[in-house]
Amino acid sequence: MKLRQVVDDFKVEELSDFKVSDSGKYKLYLLEKRSMESFALLGYLSRSNNIPVSGFGIAGLKDKHAVTRQYLTVPSRYEIKNPAEKNFNLNFIGFVDKAIEIGNLTGNRFEITARDIQKDELQSMNKKAGSVNAIGIPNYFDSQRFESVVKNKFIVKSILKKEYEEAVKIFLTRYARHESSKSKEEKRFIAENWSSLKNLNIKNPLFAKIVNEYRKTDSWLLVYKKIPLNLREIFTSAYQSYLWNECVKDVLRQTIDKKNLYGVEYAPGELIFYKNVSSDELKDIPATFKTISHDIKPSEFEEKIIDGVLSREGIGIEEFNIKKETENFFKVYERNVIVKPADFSMSLLGIDELNDKGKNNKFKVTLSFTLPRGSYATLITKRMFNS
């Protein structure tokens, strides 16, 4: 099975309920783009229209390797002079009184084409589609949430353990495959010369700023706080999301017969999915589970699960109180344990023209469904295309 062989294989459309009028403080556009990263496009629109990047409002980042439709606002005083170019198109919808902020959407509609499917796989896929429709899937945070995590090193875990030097070292020396060769080279250079960090000539402006703070203060905590706040917030949410996933995995282990559970790899490790769930087992799965923070008020069941997860992590609940030291904090909120896609369907599109090579034995299918905001379409593909 192959996903995203061409950009049209992954389509996502934002669902919103804006109250549009003939006048207002902000202009509302429907942005259609293909093969473009959201921040890169906003930067381009900013430069070409003399609009500050902060003036653009979007509800969420959409995949680069996809065809996407999402809403965008700009203050009414600005004009977008280039609403249509090769890889994007901005359609003016009307005016709204408030700028769009992250999370201002009701959900997303997806259309995902999977290719290189054998004929004997189609029957099992139909069965899985019925299962997804009937009992949903675990509502995990998927790999996209963990792009700041390299080789399972969570920066904020080091902060919780007051290992501030280790946190800074991870940031300055660990790199992912998608990073530029220039960034990788500098991080390798820093790692190889860590013991003489103060004497290094650093080219990257942010890295240089961080190292300069170490020269001035000798305080690894102050050095850590030189990492931009928005990045530190990403580190915090990544670890909290990972812990929530671990909790949900333990929930499933305790409520579902293990013969109906199986693992699927994702960025920080492994997720657990279920194949079948009895009505009694479904009743035992809580509707929601809280995210972990020092001021959480867990139910008895949640407390037992959380204690087990934190014991494996070697961390106590009281260590999550880091706001005073770092200006970051872990927010408690409830997230649905199970998510059921709405309007789910699977359509057989026939022979896969990209992979069949004239043998008439490779097929393509399209999955169409709607998910609430914060849920990951890639989990549907993990469930559908892994046994």
The CATH number of the domain holding residue 42 is 3.30.70.3160
- Whether residue 353 sits in one domain with residue 259: no
| Sign of the alpha-carbon dihedral angle for 278, 279, 281, 282 | positive
pLDDT at 252: 98
* pLDDT tens, residue by residue, 324-336: 999 899 999 999 9
204 and 128 share a domain?
no
Q: State the alpha helices, DSSP H only, in the chain.
A: 38-49, 122-135, 155-160, 164-173, 181-192, 205-217, 220-224, 229-255, 279-284, 300-313, 323-326, 377-384
- Average pLDDT, stretch 232-238? 94
Q: What is the mean pLDDT of the chain?
A: 94
pLDDT of 387 reads 67
Lowest-pLDDT range of 40-54, 161-175, 247-261: 40-54
Note whether 172 and 292 are same-domain residues: yes
The mean pLDDT value for 161-165 works out to 97
pLDDT above 90 (res 123) = no
Torsion angles phi and psi, residue 34, rounded to 5 = -140, 135
Q: What is the pLDDT of residue 246?
A: 99
Is residue 244 predicted with pLDDT exceeding 70?
yes
pTM of the predicted structure, to 2 decimals: 0.90
Shared-domain flag, residues 148 and 260: yes
Q: Are 236 and 319 members of one domain?
A: yes
Answer whether residue 349 shows pLDDT above 90: no
Based on the fold, state whether residues 193 and 328 are members of the same structural domain. yes
User: Do 264 and 382 belong to one domain?
Assistant: no
**44 shares its domain with 158:** no
DSSP label at 119? G
Percent of the chain with pLDDT over 90: 83
348 vs 288: which has the higher pLDDT? 288
Whether 262 and 322 map to the same domain: the answer is yes
Residues 298, 302, 305, 306, Cα dihedral to 10°: -20
Residues 186 and 328 grouped into a single domain: yes
3-class SS shares of the chain: helix, strand, coil, % to 5: 40, 25, 35
Does residue 375 share a domain with residue 255?
no
Give the closest residue to 375 by CA, choosing from 13, 14, 108, 84: 108
Residue 164 backbone dihedrals phi, psi, to 5 degrees: -65, -40
Active site residue 17: no
Catalytic hit among 8, 17, 63, 218: 63
**Together in a domain, 236 and 92:** no
Domain that holds residue 348: 1-12+107-136+340-387
Pairing of strands 26-34, 67-75: antiparallel
- The pLDDT, as a whole number, for residue 225 is 96
pLDDT one-digit tens code per residue, 173-203: 999 887 889 999 999 999 999 999 999 999 9
Domain count, the chain: 3
Q: Which residues contact 245 (CB under 8 A, 6 or more apart)?
A: 140, 141, 271
